[in-house]
Chain A
Amino acid sequence: MSFVVSVRNLYVEHRQKQVLKDVSFDVADGEFLYLIGKTGSGKSSLLKVLYADLPIHSGWVEVADYDLTLIKHHQIPFLRRKLGIIFQDFELLYDRNVFENLAFVLRATDWKDSRQIRQRIEEVLESVGLSDKIKNMPHQLSGGEQQRVVIARALLNRPRLLLADEPTGNLDPVVSAEILELFKKIHRQGAAVIIATHYHNFLKQFPSRVLYCEEGIVRDIEKEFVVKRMEESFKKL
């Protein structure tokens, strides 16, 4: 089994505060898992480490075959092209339409051929069910539709690993469920998916492995255990 993420004895400090202590885990290619924890539990820091935005204090991290303890500054863009990042503060560009938002990403990642660019954009928009919104401006879309565009953007370069931080933060439960369906679809197509969320309904809808963060310590909870717990809680109802 090949791993897209391997973390060993990771310690991370942020502003003279220990935010992650002795974290070790692996994520296999194509695996689906949740990252759960309160604000300040180290959840966001862990994600930042994975896309090389937070320096590693000690330990060893490998993401998509890049050793993050050795990675050079100029290699970081190429690591990120193997990741799809879906973040709240990573918004759409509101001065251009959906197509231009996506084309911008492709051009930024060395796509040159206009025909290939259009083709790839049509593919990802179809996979998130927004083919008819290609010419719309972001403000003409609903919150759920905007989030789908963000997901489409993350899929453009066929990432090995999708990182999503509170992907349904501002969305109602019905739309959130649709977004989760989308992540499940992406997972079925072969990408590994890590979703950081406090939205426990996801666990009920689609039980999977959980990394639980608390005060800088990460506990690894196996899928079977989560499934069992969820079944128990259903029985209680």
Chain B
Amino acid sequence: MFSTTHNKSGYPTSNVIFIITTALFIIGLFALFALHAQLLIRKLRENIEIQVFLHKNTDASTQRSIRQALESYPFILKENQIPKIRFISKEEAATELRHLTGEDFMNFLGDNPLRDAFVINISEEYYTKAQMENIKKQIEELPGVFEVTYPENHIQEINANVHKVGAVLLSFVLMLLGIVVILINNSVKLAMYSQRFLIRSMQLVGATPWFIKKPFLQRAIYQGIVGACIAIVLLSLVLWFFYTFLEELRVLNVKWGIFVIYISLLFLGGLICGASAYFSVSRYLKMKLDQLYQN
């Protein structure tokens, strides 16, 4: 059906679908990029560990109550409903340090200077400077907690970049959306131009405006959705390509996001094409015969 540029009625079907596919493909590519960027940032944030050092010689029951307190906080990252809290005893910490430095510091210190600690991860949405400070203060108030540390500079750096990237992405998406609307609108309008005398004929036999609009609208929405489907197939190919060569991407949980993007593309294609067809047919419906010839 799409092999000929012009079918018998002169409606440039394949041109319209080509433009729609291209436009939606570009916007879809961008959306997928933004999705992956966002998920990568989240992963990055959630991997940041916060260390909660305890006072020396805290007994087991204090430790248990600290753990319970930590588990009840809403900001603790949960994986499969289980809060991500790890306990590192000072002995474990010492062994780890010995491995890292290759020196047996306990020999010349005569004592283990390290403290027992909980290591926790925080949900992504709490990564603002103010909230982090708040969390730090909140935990430090718990009895038995000596100090809370987190890589403050690291977090600030990520946050600053996220804001920049976010602003750039958003302006790009808006710009692209504008371009896509104009592109699709123009090609549908052009296609409608080829149908202006048919529209005129329909008017002369006494067809009501809605009867005239309906088939054009149906065709445009159908074409928008076909264009979106082709774009989705192409995008899936691109994704497959990247996932084959960049296996690291598989840690991201993108399935739901991709589904939303694909559905939005179908919706966007149908909506923009339908609206363009509606408005351009309405325009021809209002035209007089000589205006049709002038165009």
Q: Which residues of A contact B (CB under 8 A)?
A: 48, 51, 53-54, 74, 77-81, 83, 85, 87, 89-91, 93-95, 105, 108-109, 153, 157
Contact = CB atoms under 8 A, between A and B. Distances in A.
B8 interface: yes
Contacts of A153: 205
Contacts of A77: 203, 206-209
A151 to B, nearest CB: 13
Contacts of B204: 51, 80, 85, 87, 90
Contact of B201 (A79, A83, A90, A157): A90
A80 B8 contact: no
B8 A94 contact: yes
Interface in B222-236: none
A60 B158 CA distance: 76
7 pairs of A and B residues whose beta carbons are closest in the complex: A108-B207, A80-B206, A95-B8, A81-B206, A95-B9, A105-B205, A77-B206
A83 B9 CA distance: 26
Contact of A108 (B9, B200, B211, B289): B211
A94 B9 CA distance: 7
10 contacts: A53-B288, A74-B209, A77-B209, A79-B206, A81-B205, A89-B200, A89-B289, A105-B205, A108-B202, A153-B205
A109 B207 contact: yes
A78 B205 CA distance: 9
A90 B292 CA distance: 13
B205 A93 contact: no
A198 B257 CA distance: 70
Contacts of B209: 74, 77
A76 B7 CA distance: 31
A93 B9 contact: yes
Contacts of A157: 206
Given A94-B8, A95-B9, A108 B288 contact: no
Contacts of A51: 204
Contacts of B206: 77-81, 83, 108-109, 157
B158 to A, nearest CB: 60
Contacts of B207: 77, 108-109
Interface in B11-63: none
B105 interface: no
B240 interface: no
Nearest to B288: A53
A109 B205 contact: yes
